[in-house]
Amino acid sequence: MAIVPLQRVTLIGELRFRDKVIFELQRMGCVHVVDRGDADERTDHTAMSQNDLKSAIAFLQRCPEQRPPFSHSATSDEIKRIAEKVLQTESESRALAEERESLAETIEQNRPWGNFQLPSPDELRGFRLFFYRLTPRQVRELVADVKSNFNANRINRDRQHEYWVIIADQPPAGMPCEPEVLDARPLEQLNLRLFEIDQRREALQVERIALTRWLDHLEQELGVVQDETARAIATKRSRVDGPVFALQGWIPARQMASLETFARENMLVCLSRAPKTDEQPPTLLSNPRPIAGAEGAVTFFMTPGYRAWDPTWVMYFSFAAFFAMILADAGYGLVLGVILACLAPSLGRTEAGQRFRQLATFMVLVTIVYGLAIGSFFGFTPAEGSWLDSVVIKSNGRSIMQDREAMMLVSATIGVFHLVLANAVVAWRWLGSGYAFSSVGWAIALIGGWLLALAQLPKPDVMALLADWLGSQASQWTEAVTQTGSWMLGSGLVLVFLFSSVRPVFSPCPRDWLWRGLDGLMGLTSVSKAFGDALSYLRLFALGLASAQLAIVFNQLASDAARVQGAGILLGTLVFLLGHTLNLLLAVVGGVVHGLRLNCIEFFSWSLTDEGQPFEALEMKANK
């Protein structure tokens, strides 16, 4: 749970060895080369561009049928020709798909008029054919002079429309709609072209399947091109002064010894120093392998600043907990576990896939445990007295999930202490500064407001529960908790007012005191934000309740369908499977979206305000 300390390094050497040095640095894969800002990083590619290779690879990866890869090697020129053929196949396939879609619409438009060839204007001696698709009501509204003055004929009719053709030199006035513009080709020719397109698309699909044998070679070539591009950019970022070049970058402090050894072996001058206070080094996160999967969830929203903190551990546990509370069913957790087990081999092929698999495994486990704790298994509750029933957390003799007031309190409590943790982290970061007391004040105020709410809640009556557990009268507990909450809320807001400014506390300048007061008032304006953010966590209860209720509804619908004579069992099974599949999809989407939202919006807005840039090492992509 740390942001890796970095060192600023400068490598100086002879210009004639620059390309060799950059190549070896890329093999080491530990230096983030500094962007000079004034360097033109456009590179000239003699080989195929990265975007073309990525497009070709993506097109082949989407192919539903894959062929085994070729075992023999291939030259760069041969791979380039293959990539060009793949892109040509993709382009032609896309063009044919668009043409087929347009052609199918044209055929449907022309079909009611029949198979005919539109005559040329010369054949009609200056007259034209105007085609009208009219409803029966529009036909009745046709003015009489249109029917009498023009050659108007009904060609076809169906349940909704009548199809009329009018021969005239210009569109007749008084028509209820505009004439349709038909394709000049006869219907027979349109259908023939549709058949030709389908045949060509089938042939292109066969070519695409055959080209999947080159997928590994294309991916390898992409790595080579990316490496060449990275070296070209690093070369442009270097500084040249006569026969000498200099390259600056950032490196993890723990790898400085390796870089110094590299510098001695390549006759380079290696200068290093710690980051200056006005510098913004890139951010490199380092977490234990089981936890590292949550790094992607963190950087999905923002990369923490170098001098900020790493919220990966908090994201790991809170995201899994929020996801479980929104799914709210152990059966759904088991289904996700089966799906994850089926996908595990493919996820294990890449490091990113392995990280996601570990995070998803933990989320599935937490979902199953939470589902057992609230007694929900595909919407069914365990039999009373069973061992499953014994692990259910109950309120008033029933599952706590069925006690809406209790679940609302649980969700709000989670929100309050999630925000308290966020402010505690900020206070720890500012330890030694007066500004830390502002975050301490927010943490105290949040807990104080929470205690006041507990004392005033009619249901669940927490004060009565405290009286039963710890003795004394409920009224005495109410008075004590109210007083404690009031003092904490008031003292917390006082700390926020006094220490929301970073200006000197004991400044002899009256202007600083005035600005501190204004900063304090501005800090107090976040009271509504704190209240709203804490209540935002009620979505955990609302979405979890919606998922649980939908599961119950689908179970009831399936039970009713099963009573139908004849195919009742089959119908009930289909309703059960389709209903729970839909509910599971909605719950997963809600769990991911709102689980990320509560962490990235509510939590990060209080604890992580400094955004940084990711650490991007100059490293080899090929043969990884």
> pLDDT digit string (tens) for 236-283?
999 999 999 999 999 999 999 999 999 999 999 999 999 998 899 999
pLDDT at residue 43 greater than cutoff 60: no
Domain boundaries, position 398: 309-607
Choose among 438, 424, 439: nearest CA to 499. Answer: 438
In a domain, 425, yes or no: yes
Q: Check whether residue 316 and residue 458 sit in a common domain.
A: yes
Neighbour tally for 117: CB within 10 Å: 11
> Where does a domain end: 164, 181, 198?
181
- pLDDT for residue 113 is more than 50: yes
Q: What would the pLDDT profile of 337-360 be if each residue is shown by its tens digit?
A: 999 999 999 888 888 899 999 999
CB of 400 within 8 A of CB of 394? yes
Q: Is 135 inside a domain boundary?
A: yes
What is the spatial distance between Cα 92 and Cα 71, in angstroms, rounded to a whole number? 29
Higher pLDDT, 113 or 319: 319
- How far, in Å, CA of 470 to CA of 465, rounded? 8
**Matching residue, tokens 């007066």:** 434
Residues in the chain, overall count: 624
Q: What's the pLDDT at 244?
A: 94
Name which residue leads in pLDDT, 83 or 49: 83
The answer to whether residue 85 is domain-embedded is: no
Residue 567 is encoded by which pair of tokens?
């195919």
- CA–CA gap between residue 361 and residue 340 (Å, rounded): 8
Indicate the pLDDT class of residue 416, thresholds 50, 70 and 90. Answer: very high
| Half-sphere exposure (Cβ direction) of 131: Cα atoms closer than 13 Å | 16
Q: Are residues 369 and 515 located together in one domain of the fold?
A: yes
- Determine contact, residues 450/411, Cβ cutoff 8 Å: no
> Is the separation of the CB atoms in 610 and 305 below 8 Å?
yes
Is there a domain that residue 230 lies in? no
Is residue 325 in a domain?
A: yes
Asked if the structure places residue 77 within a domain, the reply is no
Q: Is the pLDDT of residue 116 over 50?
A: yes
Q: Of 127, 159, 181, which residue is a domain's last? A: 181
Share of residues in the chain with pLDDT > 90 (%): 55
**Is residue 145 over pLDDT 70?**
no
> Which run of H or E residues covers position 154?
strand 151-157
Q: Is residue 514 part of a domain?
A: yes
- Alpha-carbon distance of 20 to 18, in angstroms, equals 5
Tally of domains in the chain: 2
- Asked if the structure places residue 281 within a domain, the reply is no
DSSP H or E segment with residue 174: none
CA distance 87 to 76: 16
Is a pLDDT exceeding 80 seen at residue 509? no
